[in-house]
Chain A
C-alpha cells in the first residue's frame, strides 16, 4: 500500500516533467503579432515617408533660408541659430529623423512586406515596396552622402561599412527598375482593394505608384546635373512617364484620431513644432517682388504678415527677430502673433493639411531644368508654365484641405501672374526660384539638394546671374565649419557616433567639419 502510493506519486511527478517540449512553447509574445498581412505594414511607412522629412525639415529649412528661429535666448534657440549659421548640434539626434525612419520604420518592416507580397504574388505591393526602398536610400544619401546599404539589415552584424554615394545612386536605380516592372503587372494577386487598405497615399491605385516611380527616377537622374554623364533627355522622358497633373500628387491625408496626436500634420497647430519659426528674408524676397518685380499671389497664402500687414522676413544672420521692430515681426505660420495657436491655419501648416511627398509641379520644374540645360527653350517654357500653374493650384488645394483659407487664387490672378513671370528667354534662375516656391515649407530635402547642386551661389552661365537670386550664405558661419558651407548632415548620433565608430572613421565622419564635406553627387566627379 505505502510503496504503491509512493510509486504512483513519483510516477506522477515524472509525468509532470515529461512532455516538456510542448509545455515550454509559451514564448510567442501574446501581446503582439510577429507577422501580419502585407498591407498592414504599409501605413506606418507611408506616414513616415511624408512626416519624417518634416522633422529634419525644421533644421534643413534653416540651411535653405526658408525660415529662421525667432525665439530669444534659450538652449533650444541657440542650437537652431547654429543651424542657421550652417552648423549642427553635436551629440544629438536632432536633424537625423529620416535616418531613424528609413533604417528602423522601413527596415525589416519593408523586407517582411516585400517577402510576403512576393510569396503571395501581390506584385502591386511588391512594386510599392521597391519604390519605398528606393525612396529611402535616395533620401538618406542626399542628406548624408555615404550611408550603409550593402550590409544594412544583415542579421548578426553590429558594425556596418559605409557605401559610396555612387553605389547608393546605382542601387536606387536598380530598385526603381524592379518597381517599374512589378507595378506594370496585373497578373497574380494584384488587387487594388487589398492594397487600398494599407495605402493612404494612392488608395490602392497601382498606376499612380508607377508614375511615382518614374517621378522619383527623374528626380534622382536630375541630381547628376554637375556631371558629364548628365542625361537631360532621360530626365525629360522619365518626367513624361510620371505625374500627368496635380491629381497624381503624392499626398498623405492625416487621420487625426490618435489620442497621442501622432497622426496629425507635423507642421499643424496642435503639434506645436513651428511655433517660433518665421519666414526668412530670402524666401520673402522670392515672392514679394524684390527678385522678380511682381508680387506672387501665393505669398499671402503661404507666408504670414506682420502687425502692420506687411510681409517681412527674418535676417538669418541675427538671432531671434533681429532688428525688426515689433510691428514688422511676422506672425507665425498659422497667421497668429507670438505663440498663439489657432484655427484656421494656412497652406501645409494645419492639423489636417495633406502632406506632400512629391508633386506634379516639382516634376515639371525638373523637366524644365533638364530642357534648359539641353537648350530646348520651348520644352522648358511649357514645363515651367505647367509647373507654376500647378503650384498655384496646389496652394489653393492645400488651403482647402482643412477649410482653412477661403480666399482662393483666381484663374485671372493666375494668368496675370504667369504672364508677368514668364520671360522671353527662360533662365535657370526663373526655373529654380519657382521650384523653390513650389516646394516651400515642405520639400526641404529637394530644395537643399538644388541649393547644393548650385553650390548655393553658383551663377547661371547663360546670364551671369546667381541661380538663386540674392541668396547669401550666413556671414557668421558656425565655428566648426572652418569657413565652409554645409553640404551634408552627420549620420544619426545615437546610431553611428556611439555604436558604429570605426566605420564612421573610415569615411572621415569624426572630423568636426564633416558636415561641410561636399558629396559626390554635386561634384563633377564621374
Chain B
C-alpha cells in the first residue's frame, strides 16, 4: 500500500514537471589545447546543467550542438576546468592548464558521478589507468601499492597468478574480509580468491589444505590493466556509504576506456619481459644428515667429507621467467561523439621462475556509448576473459622448502629412479620426506582455468531540464575449473595413493541499480540544493561442485575416472541485497557544501527483523580560499569533515546451524561445528574524518591531509570457539569492537615545467593502526586458524592488541623482563600451552610511496619508490631451517652458550634472582634448535620493526617521431628491481596464506614463500 502511494507520487512529479524549453540549437566547434599548445584529447565538453556533450578527438577538436546562452564546460582530469557561454561565434577554442592540485578539477566519485573536487567532503584519490598499465603488472591491484595513501597491497607469493590482498586503512575486521569493493563502470565485480574449503578433500584433516599449501588467483586479476582509464579509491566508509555493506572497507572505482572522436584508430602494444629471482636463499653445506644417510632432512650430523661432491641445487632449480603480452585495440567515435566505440583484445603469457609455473590470459572487451537522441544516452561495456594458471604448491612440503631441505651432497635435478618412480634419499618413506622440488613441480599440479564474462548496460535519460534517470543493469559471471593433483608417490599424496581434487566454481552475480538525479536547484543566486535517490538490487550466486578421488589405479593417469574412492561436495552460496539510498547536497556560494546521505539495506544473511538497517552520513566541504579571497595570493584550500555510519552483514548461512552428512558408521546426519545465533545483527562502523586540501604556487604544489577514526561495534566474529556445553564448537557472534585510526598525506608537486623538461612528483604517506577493544563474551583470544602455519604462532588478537598482532607460545619472563630458564636444561621456558601476547604487531609505523615523473623532449622517466618503517614479520622459513640444522646460523653449533636469563627456581621474582650459568651445547642439546616442546619459542624468529625501501617500478619511454606512425613509443620497464631491508629472510612482503583468508590473514608470515621476482620489460606502443 505504502509502496503504491509512493509510486503515484513519483509519477505525479514526473508528469507535472515543466517540459524542457525548446531552443534554437546550432553546432559549435573548436580546439582544446594544453599549456604547450599541444592538442588535448579526451577533454569532456558538457553543456552545463545537462548530461549532454562530447569529448575532444585526438587532434583536440570537438563539435557539439548547443543553444546560445547555454554554458559549455571543458573538463579534463588533472586540469583546471574552463566554462564558456555560447554566443554568436560558432568556434570556441580553449586552453586548459594542467595543475598538480586544483579544487576545480573534475573527479569521479561514488556511483560514477563526476563532480568538482571542491564539493567533496570526503577523502578519495585518483590514479590514472596509464600509470598502472605502464608497470606491466598482470594484476592491476599490485600496481596500487604506494600510488594511493592508505592502500596496502600484499601479494601471496612471486608465483604467476598468485593472489593479492588489498586493504584500505588497515585491518578492522578480526575474522571477515578486509578487502574493498571493486566497481567497474558502475558494476560491482567479484574479487574473490577461491577458498580451499570448497574442495571435497578439505573435509578430512589429513588431506586438507586450509588455504596454506595452495593459492588461487584473485579474480580482479582477470581484468586487463590496458582497458583502465582511471581508478578512484574511496577510502573511508564516508564515501563508500553510498555503495553500502560491501564497501565497508572502502571502494575502488574503475572507469574503463571509451573511444575518442575522430577517425577510427588502431593501437597495438606489446611487452616482453625477463623475470629473475632477486635473492636466492642460502643453506649451510657443512653438516650432513643427523643419522648419516638414514635420517630425515635434519642436518645435525657429521660434517660432509672434504672430498664429498656438493651441488648448488638452489641455483640450478630456478629458471628465467619469460613474459609476453600483446594488446590490440580499435577505437573511434563519430565527429560529434554521438556514438563511440572501443574494442580491445589482449594476450598475456607468463612463465614463472619456478619450472612449470605459468599464467596465461586472454581478454576481449568492447565498449560503446551513444547519444540515441537529445535525451537518451546509452553505455554498454562487455568483457570476456580467459585465464589459465599453474601454480606451484607453497609452504609446508612445497617445492621451495623441499629445495632448501635437499642434501647438499645429492643432485636434486636427478629426481626420478631409473624405473621412473620418485627418487627418495632418506629412509623416511614417501610420506616422511618432502618431495624433491623437481618432482613436486612436475608431478603435482594446481591448475585453474577461468572463463569470465561481465556486461554492463547503462541508460541515461534526460527527459526534463532539472534531472535525469540512470538505470543500470550488469552481470558478472564466471566459471573456474580447478584441478589439484597430488601424485600417488608425492609427499602429499602417497598416504592416499594419490589425491585428485577437482572443483568447478560457477559464479553469477547480477546487479541492478537506478539513480534518479535532481540537478542543483538555485533558491537564490548563491544557494542551491540538489541530490539524488537510488535503488539497487544485488543477487549473488556461487555454486561449487567438487569431487575428490583417492587411490590411483594407473599412477600417471590424472583423471577422476582413474580413482578408487571418490567423494563429492557441493557448496552453493546465495546472497541477496536490496538497497535504497539517496543524497542531498546544499551549495552556498560555491565555497560551502553540505552533503547528507542515507542508505537502507535489506540483506538475506541476517535474521529478521535485524536484516533491515539504515545508516546516515554527512560531510561538509569549505573552500576557505574562496570565502576569504585575500588568502588566494598565497594559496587555495579547503577544509573537509565527514561523519558516517556503515552497516555490514554476515556471510550467508551464518546463523542457522546446519546438519552435516556424517561419514561415520551407518552415515546419518549430525550438526556441524557451528551453533545457532538467531539474534545475529549487522555490525556497524562509525567513522569520522577531517582533512584539508591546500595548493600553493598556482597549483604547482598541493597537499592533501586526512585524519580518520573508525570504530566498529557489534562486529561479527566468525568461527569463535565456546564451551562444548553449548552443544557446538564454533559460533558466529556479534560483540567485538575494534578501532582504527590513521593519517594520510599526499603531497603533489610540479617543481619544473618547461617546454622541453618537466618534473612531477607525488608522495603518499600512510600511517594506520587498528586495535581490538573487546571480544564477544569476554573471550580471551580470537585467532584465524588457517594462519597457524608453522610452530605455535598465529594471527591471534585480544582486547588491547593490534588487529594485526601475533600470539604464540612465547617466552616466559620475570617482572624485570628477563627470560626464565629451566634449571634442569638451561633452556628458556615458553608459555606452552597458552597462546600469549609478546607485543608483536605486523602493522607498519608508516609507509611512503614516492612517484617521480620526468619528461625531457621525447623521453619520459617515471618510477615509484616504496618506503616502509616498522611492523613485525614472522620468519617461519628461518625457524624451519634452524630446526632442521639447515640455517647458516646453526654453523656455530659446537660453541657452547649460556642463554642470558634467570633460573625459574622460585627466586625469579625476588630481588635476588639466580642468573643462569648453565652451559648448553647446541650440537648435543636437541631442544636448542627445535621448538617441539615447552622450551625454545618461535619468538626468536619474529623480526621486529622491519623497514624497507624498494623500487617498485621504473619506466623509461621514448616517443618516436610522428613520421613513424600516428603515435609510437618504445619503453623499458622494470618492476621490483631493487630492495633494501633489515629483514634477514628473502622478502618481508609475504603472505603465508592466500587472499581467501579473512581477518589479518597470513600477511607478514613468511613460510616457504617464493619472493616476488625482478622483471625487466621492454616493448613498443603504436597507433595508426
Q: Which residues of A contact B (CB under 8 A)?
A: 2-3, 5-7, 9-14, 16-18, 20, 23-36, 40-48, 50-51, 75, 90-92, 99-100, 103-105, 107-109, 111, 148, 151-153, 155-160, 198, 200, 252-255, 258-260, 262-263, 492-496, 498-500
Contacts and interface: CB of A to CB of B under 8 A. Distances in A.
A258 B727 contact: no
A14 B463 contact: no
Interface string B555-594: 0000000000111001110111010100000000000000
Which of A48, A50, A198, A259 gathers the greatest number of chain B CB atoms within 10 Å? A259
Contact of B666 (A24, A159, A200, A260): A200
Nearest to A254: B665
B471 interface: yes
Contact of B469 (A6, A16, A41, A262): A6
Given A5-B461, A153-B725, 9 more contacts: A7-B14, A10-B14, A14-B535, A20-B602, A35-B659, A40-B668, A104-B727, A107-B724, A108-B727
Nearest to A149: B725
Interface residues of B, number: 83
B888 interface: no
A34 B659 contact: yes
B669 A40 contact: yes
Nearest to A28: B656
B870 interface: no
A26 B663 CA distance: 28
Contacts of B721: 494, 498-499
Interface string B642-678: 0000000000110111111111111111111101100
Interface in B512-560: 512, 514, 516, 535, 537, 550-551
Contacts of A40: 668-669
Contact of A44 (B203, B375, B670): B670
Interface of B: 3, 6-7, 10-11, 14-15, 17, 203-204, 375, 459, 461, 463-464, 469, 471, 512, 514, 516, 535, 537, 550-551, 565-567, 570-572, 574-576, 578, 580, 602-605, 607, 611, 652-653, 655-673, 675-676, 679, 721-729, 777, 779-781, 832-834, 932-933
A45 B471 contact: no
A262 B653 CA distance: 27
17 contacts: A9-B514, A13-B535, A18-B3, A24-B578, A29-B656, A42-B668, A43-B666, A75-B932, A90-B833, A107-B727, A148-B725, A153-B727, A155-B676, A158-B722, A158-B777, A159-B723, A260-B663
A106 B837 CA distance: 36
Contact of B550 (A18, A259, A262): A259
B728 A26 contact: no
B932 A24 contact: no
B51 to A, nearest CB: 13
Given A20-B602, A495-B723, A498-B721, A31 B663 contact: no
A107 B658 contact: no
A47 B728 contact: no
Nearest to B661: A32
B604 A14 contact: no
Contacts of B469: 6, 9-10
Closest 8 CB pairs of A and B: A91-B833, A43-B666, A259-B565, A2-B463, A43-B668, A107-B727, A32-B658, A13-B514
B578 A17 contact: yes
Contact of A46 (B3, B459, B665, B779): B665
Given A24-B604, A26-B574, A48 B664 contact: yes
Nearest to B17: A3
A158 B657 CA distance: 16
B603 A41 contact: no
B580 A17 contact: yes
Given A26-B604, A103-B727, A160-B723, A45 B663 contact: no
Nearest to A109: B670
A41 B669 contact: yes
A158 B723 contact: yes
Nearest to B534: A13
A91 to B, nearest CB: 2
B727 A7 contact: no
Which of B6, B566, B675 gathers the greatest number of chain A CB atoms within 10 Å? B675
Nearest to A151: B725
Contacts of B656: 27-29, 34
A92 B375 CA distance: 71
A40 B662 CA distance: 10
A13 B3 contact: no
A43 B667 contact: yes
Contacts of B375: 2
Contacts of B932: 75
Contacts of B516: 10
Contacts of A25: 604
Which of A7, A254, A494 gathers the greatest number of chain B CB atoms within 10 Å? A7
Given A7-B14, A91-B833, A34 B657 contact: yes
A500 B725 contact: yes
A160 B604 contact: no
B659 A47 contact: no
A255 B667 CA distance: 9
A36 to B, nearest CB: 5
A45 B723 contact: no
A92 B574 contact: no
B535 A17 contact: yes
A337 B1005 CA distance: 43
B639 to A, nearest CB: 37
B484 to A, nearest CB: 16
B339 to A, nearest CB: 20
Given A24-B603, A36-B659, A47 B666 contact: yes
A24 to B, nearest CB: 4
Contacts of A492: 724
Which of B6, B537, B662, B777 gathers the greatest number of chain A CB atoms within 10 Å? B662
Contacts of B571: 31
A426 B755 CA distance: 116
B619 to A, nearest CB: 26
Nearest to B580: A17
A258 B663 contact: yes
Contact of A263 (B17, B665, B780, B781): B665
Given A14-B3, A200-B665, A6 B463 contact: yes
A158 B605 CA distance: 23
Given A27-B652, A107-B671, A32 B659 contact: yes
A3 B671 contact: no
A10 B459 CA distance: 12
Contacts of A42: 666, 668
A258 B664 contact: yes
Contacts of A18: 3
Contact of B664 (A6, A28, A44, A103): A44
A258 B551 CA distance: 13
Contact of A499 (B7, B512, B723): B723
Nearest to A17: B535
B725 A103 contact: yes
A75 to B, nearest CB: 5
Nearest to B655: A27
Given A148-B725, A495-B725, A29 B514 contact: no
B12 to A, nearest CB: 10
Contacts of B580: 17
A30 B572 contact: yes
B669 A44 contact: yes
Given A2-B375, A14-B7, A263-B663, A158 B658 contact: no
A11 B7 contact: yes
Nearest to A6: B463
B671 A108 contact: yes
A46 B652 CA distance: 32
Contacts of B11: 7, 10-11
Given A30-B572, A109-B671, A498-B721, A255 B666 contact: yes
B728 A108 contact: yes
Contacts of B725: 103, 148, 151-153, 160, 495, 500
